[in-house]
Amino acid sequence: MRNIMGTGPAREIIMPIVQMAIFVAGAGALCSVIMIILATLFQGSGADHLLQSTQGVGIFAYTVGNLPQVLIDGMTIGFVYAAIALGYTMVYGVLQFINFAHSEIFAIGAFAGVESLIALNAVGSLAKAGTIGSFGYFGLALLIGMAVAGGTAVFVERVAYRPLRNSPKLVPLISAIGVSFALQDIIRLTESLTTGQFYRVIPTFGNFDDRLTLFTIGSKAIDIQVKSLVVILAAVTMLVALNYLVKATKVGKAIRAVSQDPNTAALLGIGVNGVISLTFLVGGSLGGAAGVMYALKFTRIDPFVGFMPGIKAFAAAVLGGIGNLTGALLGGIVLGMIESFAGAYLGTFTQGAFGAEYKDMVAFLILILVIIFRPNGLLGENLSQKA
C-alpha cells in the first residue's frame, strides 16, 4: 500500500531530469544532424569558399567545430524559455486564459533581482564576496526576484482577472494586455525616479564571466561560461521542484484537479480561488527567476526586456501544447535550440545575406510550420500531464 500512497518521491525527482536530458539530447541531436547535412550539401558553395578564404576552414569543419558551443547556448536559453513558458501554460491550465502580462512579471523579477544586487554592490558586499559568497548573493537575488514577481502575479490576478472570471474570454485577455502596459510604465517610472535612467545593468561580481573548459577536441577547447552553467543548474532545479510540486504533493494534485474540472474540485472542498492564486504565485515566481537569470546572462535590462522572451516563451508553450507542463519544457528547449542554431549559422550559410538577427524569424517560421501540422502542439492534448 505504501508504494501506492506515496508515488515514490525519488521517482518524481529523477524522472523529470531524465526527461529534460532526453529533450535536450533529442532537440540538440536533431538540429545537429540537420546542420551537418546542410554543411555537407554546402561544400563547394560560395559560402564554403568564403569561409576558406577568410577563416581558412571549410564549411563542414566550421559547422562541426561550432556545434558544442551552439548546443550549450541553445540549452541555456532553452531552459530560460521553458521556465517562462511554464507560467503561461500553468495559468492556461487552470483558467484557459493567456496571461499576456506574464512577460512583465518576468521583467519585474529581473528588476527586483538586479536592484538587490545593485544595493548589495553599493554597500560593498559583492566586492568582498568570494566565489561561494557570490553564488550565495546571486541565489539571494534569484529568491528576491521570484518573491516580487510571484507576489505581483498574485496581485494582478486578484485585481485584474478575478473580477472578470465570468466575462467572455476576450475580456480578461484585454485586461491582461492593459496590465502588461501598465506594469511596463510602472517599472519605467520607479526606475527613472531614483536615477533618471530606466535601464539597469547587473553589477559585475564573482566569477560569472569566467569560462570553464568542459573538454578539448584536438586543440579546440569547448568551454562554458560560469553564468550559463548557473542558469542551467538553477533552471533544472526549479523545473524539478515544480514537477514534484505538481505531481506528488496534495496542492499540486489540487492544481491539476482544478484545471481539469473546477466545479467538481470545488465540490470536493478544494478552494478554487486559492488554487488559482497559488498557480499565479508559482508561475510568476518561475517567470521572475527566469528574469533574473536572463539579466545575469545578458547583463542589461530595461522595462521592455520581457517582450521578446515573453513572446518566445508563449510560442514555446504553444509549440509544446498549451496547458501541458511537459510540453512547455519541450517547447522551450526546442525553441532555444532552433534559435541558437539559426543565430550561429544563418549568417555563414547565406554569406551574410541573413545575419544572426534573423534567428527569431527562423524560430517563428518553424513554430508556424509545427502548429499547422500539429495544432495542439508537439505533445498534443495529453491529459495526464495537464497542469
Partner 1 sequence: MSVLELDNIHSYYGNIHALMGISLTVEKGEIVALIGANGAGKTTTLRSISGLLHPRKGHVLLEGKDISHLPPHTVHRAGLGLVPEGRGIFPGLTVLENLEMGAYIIDDKAEIEKGIQNAFSLFPRLKERAQQMGGTLSGGEQQMLATARGLMSNPTILLMDEPSMGLAPVLVDQIFEIIKELNKRGTTILLVEQNALMALSIANRGYVLQTGNIVLTDTGANLKANDMVRKAYLGM
Which residues would be at the binding site for partner 1 (CB under 8 A)? 1, 4-5, 250, 253-254, 256-257, 260-261, 263-272, 383-386
Burial of 373 (0-12, 13-18, 19+ CB in 10 A): exposed
Stated as kind and residue range, the H or E segment containing 308 is helix 307-320
Number of continuous H segments (helices) and E segments (strands) in the chain: 15, 4
Alpha carbon of residue 100 to chain centroid: 15
Minimum CB–partner distance for residue 330 and partner 1 (Å): 18
Cell of 210: 569566467
Q: Which residues contact 367 (CB under 8 A, 6 or more apart)?
A: 315, 318, 319, 335
Q: Which is nearer to partner 1, 194 or 249 (CB)?
A: 249
Minimum CB–partner distance for residue 383 and partner 1 (Å): 4
Minimum CB–partner distance for residue 82 and partner 1 (Å): 21
Dihedral sign computed on CA atoms, order 256, 318, 372, 175: positive
Report the candidate in 131, 152, 95, 102 with the shortest Cα–Cα distance to residue 275.
95
What length does the chain have? 387
Q: Which is nearer to partner 1, 116 or 385 (CB)?
A: 385
Q: Which is nearer to partner 1, 245 or 266 (CB)?
A: 266
Q: Which is nearer to partner 1, 8 or 130 (CB)?
A: 8
Q: Which is nearer to partner 1, 1 or 18 (CB)?
A: 1
| Cβ-based neighbour number of residue 60 at 10 Å | 17
Residue 220 three-state SS: strand
Minimum CB–partner distance for residue 157 and partner 1 (Å): 18
> Rounded distance, CA 151 to CA 250, Å?
22
Minimum CB–partner distance for residue 262 and partner 1 (Å): 10
Stated as kind and residue range, the H or E segment containing 247 is helix 226-248
Q: Which is nearer to partner 1, 162 or 253 (CB)?
A: 253
Q: Which is nearer to partner 1, 192 or 273 (CB)?
A: 273
Minimum CB–partner distance for residue 381 and partner 1 (Å): 10
Minimum CB–partner distance for residue 1 and partner 1 (Å): 7
| Cβ-based neighbour number of residue 127 at 10 Å | 12
